[in-house]
Amino acid sequence: MLFGLARGSFGDRDAWDDRRTLAALEADTVFVAELEGRAAGFVAVEREGDALRIEQLFVSPEHEGEGVGRQLLEYAEGYAISVGAHRLEVVAEQDNRRAVEFYRGRGFVPSGAELLQLVLPQS
Protein backbone atom coordinates (compact mmCIF):
# COMPACT_ATOMS: atom_id res chain seq x y z
CA MET A 1 0.00 0.00 0.00
CA LEU A 2 2.66 2.59 1.03
CA PHE A 3 5.06 1.61 -1.73
CA GLY A 4 2.31 1.94 -4.33
CA LEU A 5 1.30 5.31 -2.92
CA ALA A 6 4.85 6.65 -3.09
CA ARG A 7 5.69 5.07 -6.45
CA GLY A 8 2.47 6.25 -8.06
CA SER A 9 3.26 9.82 -7.07
CA PHE A 10 7.03 10.00 -7.53
CA GLY A 11 8.11 6.93 -9.51
CA ASP A 12 8.69 8.94 -12.68
CA ARG A 13 11.26 11.28 -11.07
CA ASP A 14 14.99 10.80 -11.65
CA ALA A 15 15.77 10.44 -7.94
CA TRP A 16 13.22 7.62 -7.45
CA ASP A 17 14.70 4.29 -6.43
CA ASP A 18 12.39 1.27 -6.02
CA ARG A 19 14.97 -0.69 -4.01
CA ARG A 20 15.68 2.14 -1.57
CA THR A 21 11.98 2.69 -0.90
CA LEU A 22 11.27 -1.03 -0.48
CA ALA A 23 14.28 -1.43 1.82
CA ALA A 24 13.12 1.45 4.00
CA LEU A 25 9.59 0.10 4.25
CA GLU A 26 10.82 -3.42 5.06
CA ALA A 27 13.65 -2.69 7.51
CA ASP A 28 13.01 0.70 9.10
CA THR A 29 10.53 1.81 11.72
CA VAL A 30 7.65 3.32 9.75
CA PHE A 31 4.89 5.62 10.96
CA VAL A 32 1.87 6.25 8.76
CA ALA A 33 -0.41 9.28 8.68
CA GLU A 34 -4.00 8.46 7.79
CA LEU A 35 -6.76 10.82 6.76
CA GLU A 36 -10.28 9.56 6.23
CA GLY A 37 -9.06 5.97 6.53
CA ARG A 38 -6.44 6.29 3.77
CA ALA A 39 -2.66 6.70 3.94
CA ALA A 40 -1.72 10.36 3.53
CA GLY A 41 2.00 9.89 4.09
CA PHE A 42 4.69 8.09 6.03
CA VAL A 43 8.04 8.57 7.67
CA ALA A 44 10.64 5.78 7.81
CA VAL A 45 13.40 6.09 10.42
CA GLU A 46 16.49 4.03 11.18
CA ARG A 47 18.92 4.04 14.10
CA GLU A 48 22.41 5.29 13.16
CA GLY A 49 24.62 5.10 16.24
CA ASP A 50 23.40 7.72 18.71
CA ALA A 51 21.13 9.31 16.08
CA LEU A 52 17.87 8.43 14.42
CA ARG A 53 17.95 9.05 10.66
CA ILE A 54 14.91 9.82 8.55
CA GLU A 55 15.28 7.54 5.56
CA GLN A 56 12.13 8.78 3.86
CA LEU A 57 9.39 11.25 4.63
CA PHE A 58 6.63 11.15 2.06
CA VAL A 59 3.35 13.05 1.83
CA SER A 60 0.81 12.18 -0.83
CA PRO A 61 0.51 15.07 -3.31
CA GLU A 62 -3.21 15.35 -2.57
CA HIS A 63 -2.38 16.12 1.08
CA GLU A 64 0.53 18.51 0.62
CA GLY A 65 0.11 21.76 2.49
CA GLU A 66 -2.21 20.20 5.09
CA GLY A 67 0.43 19.77 7.81
CA VAL A 68 0.89 16.03 7.29
CA GLY A 69 4.66 16.32 6.78
CA ARG A 70 5.03 18.51 9.85
CA GLN A 71 3.04 16.04 11.96
CA LEU A 72 5.08 13.10 10.70
CA LEU A 73 8.30 14.96 11.49
CA GLU A 74 7.04 15.80 14.99
CA TYR A 75 6.16 12.15 15.54
CA ALA A 76 9.63 11.06 14.37
CA GLU A 77 11.19 13.60 16.73
CA GLY A 78 9.13 12.34 19.68
CA TYR A 79 10.02 8.76 18.84
CA ALA A 80 13.72 9.65 18.60
CA ILE A 81 13.61 11.23 22.05
CA SER A 82 11.76 8.22 23.47
CA VAL A 83 14.46 5.81 22.27
CA GLY A 84 17.27 8.01 23.61
CA ALA A 85 18.66 9.29 20.31
CA HIS A 86 20.86 12.37 20.61
CA ARG A 87 20.03 13.70 17.14
CA LEU A 88 17.45 13.38 14.41
CA GLU A 89 19.15 13.43 11.00
CA VAL A 90 17.99 13.64 7.41
CA VAL A 91 19.75 13.68 4.06
CA ALA A 92 18.32 16.37 1.80
CA GLU A 93 19.89 17.00 -1.59
CA GLN A 94 21.02 20.62 -1.86
CA ASP A 95 19.06 21.14 -5.07
CA ASN A 96 15.87 20.05 -3.29
CA ARG A 97 15.26 23.53 -1.88
CA ARG A 98 11.75 22.68 -0.74
CA ALA A 99 12.98 19.83 1.49
CA VAL A 100 15.95 21.82 2.81
CA GLU A 101 13.69 24.76 3.69
CA PHE A 102 11.14 22.42 5.29
CA TYR A 103 13.73 20.91 7.63
CA ARG A 104 15.60 24.15 8.32
CA GLY A 105 12.29 25.81 9.19
CA ARG A 106 11.85 23.17 11.88
CA GLY A 107 15.22 23.72 13.52
CA PHE A 108 17.49 21.39 11.54
CA VAL A 109 20.97 22.72 10.81
CA PRO A 110 23.55 21.60 8.23
CA SER A 111 25.90 18.91 9.50
CA GLY A 112 27.53 17.92 6.21
CA ALA A 113 27.17 18.41 2.47
CA GLU A 114 23.60 17.08 2.38
CA LEU A 115 23.07 16.08 6.01
CA LEU A 116 20.85 18.12 8.31
CA GLN A 117 20.43 17.42 12.00
CA LEU A 118 18.31 18.41 14.94
CA VAL A 119 19.94 18.07 18.36
CA LEU A 120 17.44 16.47 20.72
CA PRO A 121 16.91 17.12 24.43
CA GLN A 122 18.31 14.45 26.74
CA SER A 123 16.60 13.25 29.90
For residue range 47-61, what is the model confidence (pLDDT) as tens digits? 999 999 998 888 888
Q: How confident is the model at residue 2 (pLDDT cuts 50, 70, 90)?
A: low
CATH architecture of 2-119: 3-Layer(aba) Sandwich (3.40)
Give me the pLDDT at residue 94, please.
82
List beta partners, residue 42. 32, 58
Report pTM.
0.81
For residue 23, count other CB atoms closer than 10 A to its CB: 15
Per-domain residue ranges of the chain: 2-119
- pLDDT grade, residue 72 (50/70/90)? very high
Question: What is the rounded average pLDDT for all residues in the chain?
Answer: 85
Q: What is the pLDDT of residue 28?
A: 82
Alpha helices in 37-122 (DSSP H): 68-82, 97-104
Q: What percent of the chain has pLDDT over 70?
A: 80
DSSP E strand stretches across the chain: 29-35, 38-48, 51-59, 87-91, 109-110, 115-119
